[in-house]
């Protein structure tokens, strides 16, 4: 049974991770004019493998279990989600791309009830739906404004939703460190195959070149942020359910808006700020509600 302290720690981990994650997207967007989204995606997993390798000394148990295929599927899903999203960043403002991606918390909460049998209470559904409305207010998406580029973050959201479901399923019996190492291995393998084919076939988003020293540094920073943040997310889902944590993914819009302004001079208009307020408010409501319920059930 999940205690109040575990739930509070899980929420705190999600908030920290979501505030840091836009750093990945800002670096990917910055590099989009010189390095393909496929190579940036490959680098994200390559550095994750390097950073996770020393931590494997802490893990115990057999490496090859019956869940290996699930690890492969999970790594493939996060690779596809990352590729789709980084490709979308080449065409969309940072905050807009993340706002479109925010259909994912709603998707993952509904899918968790369908596939994992997790309970979804009306208040959680209302909070998630309200956050989704806030995201729609921010992006105000129409194909006439952003074209088919809108489908890249949508595709990322669908892939990431199933990635989260597999994370929730595997983390109950797997060490989070080994879980993320496998994600890096299979993600890097999938992208290595894709880049080999894409470079040979001259596919723009899947071509590879040798980065400069500064580009390697940025790619390393991207890998470091991704590794730390996704470890926090895995540990959070080990302590609390998807229904509790999903709304906190909306906090990511705060960091995205700030970085979009500072780096890319993308200043949100008043309607966008209104949408951000709705998103943050929905997450804070869930935090308040869960803390109140935990206080009642704690002896």
**Domain boundaries defined on the chain:** 4-297
pLDDT at 151: 83
Q: What is the pLDDT of residues 106-152, one digit of tens each?
A: 777 777 777 767 666 777 778 778 877 877 776 665 455 666 777 89
Q: How far apart, in whole angstroms, are the C-alpha atoms of residue 299 and residue 295?
A: 8
pLDDT digits (tens, 9 = 90+) for 223-267: 999 989 988 988 887 788 766 777 777 788 778 888 888 888 877
pLDDT digits (tens, 9 = 90+) for 198-221: 999 989 899 999 999 999 999 999
Query: What does the H/E/C string look like for 26-46?
Result: HHHHHHCCCCCHHHHHHHHHH
Residue 1 is predicted with a pLDDT of 44
Handedness of CA 146, 90, 201, 39 (dihedral sign): negative
Can you tell me which residue has the tokens 């890998």? 223
Bigger pLDDT: 227 vs 287 = 227
Q: Which residue has the higher pLDDT, 64 or 187?
A: 187
In angstroms, the CA 131 to CA 102 distance is 8
The b/e string for 153-191 (b: 16+ C-beta within 10 A; e otherwise) is bbbbbbbbbbbbbbbbbbbeebbbbbbbbbbbbbbbbbb
Res 99 pLDDT > 50? yes
State what percent of residues in the chain have pLDDT above 70. Answer: 85
pLDDT score recorded for residue 119: 66
User: What's the predicted TM-score (pTM) here?
Assistant: 0.81
More confident of the two residues 1 and 33: 33
| HEC string for 75-102 | HHHHHHHHHHHHHHHCCCCHHHHHHHHC
pLDDT, greater one: 25 or 277: 25
Confidence (pLDDT) at 200 = 93
User: What confidence score (pLDDT) does residue 144 get?
Assistant: 54
Q: Is 174 left (phi over 0), alpha (psi -120 to 50) or beta?
A: beta
pLDDT at 271 over 60: yes
Exposed (0-12), middle (13-18) or buried (19+): which is 296, by Cβ within 10 Å?
Answer: exposed
């Amino acid at each position: 049974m999940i205690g109040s302290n575990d739930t509070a720690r899980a929420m705190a981990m999600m908030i920290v991770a979501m505030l840091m994650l836009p750093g990945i997207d800002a670096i990917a967007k910055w590099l989009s004019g010189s390095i393909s989204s496929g190579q940036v995606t490959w680098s994200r997993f390559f550095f994750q493998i390097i950073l996770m390798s020393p931590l494997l000394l802490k893990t115990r148990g057999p490496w090859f279990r019956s869940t290996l295929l699930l690890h492969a599927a999970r790594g493939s899903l996060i690779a596809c989600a990352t590729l789709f999203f980084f490709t979308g960043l080449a065409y969309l403002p940072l905050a807009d791309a993340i706002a479109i991606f925010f259909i994912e918390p709603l998707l993952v909460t509904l899918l968790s009830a369908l596939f994992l049998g997790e309970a979804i209470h009306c208040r959680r559904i209302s909070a998630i739906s309200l956050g989704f409305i806030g995201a729609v207010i921010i992006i105000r998406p129409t194909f006439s404004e952003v074209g088919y580029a809108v489908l890249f973050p949508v595709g990322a959201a669908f892939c990431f939703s199933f990635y989260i479901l597999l994370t929730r399923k595997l983390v109950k019996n797997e060490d989070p460190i080994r879980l993320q190492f496998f994600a890096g291995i299979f993600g890097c393998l999938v992208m290595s195959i894709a880049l080999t084919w894409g470079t040979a076939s001259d596919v723009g988003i899947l071509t590879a070149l040798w980065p400069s020293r500064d580009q390697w540094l940025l790619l390393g920073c991207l890998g470091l942020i991704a590794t730390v943040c996704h470890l926090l997310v895995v540990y959070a889902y080990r302590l609390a359910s998807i229904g509790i944590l999903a709304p906190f993914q909306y906090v990511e819009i705060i960091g995205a808006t700030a970085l979009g302004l500072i780096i890319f001079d993308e200043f949100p208009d008043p309607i966008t700020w209104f949408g951000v307020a709705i998103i943050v408010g929905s997450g804070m409501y869930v935090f308040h509600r869960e803390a109140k319920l935990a206080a009642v059930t704690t002896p």
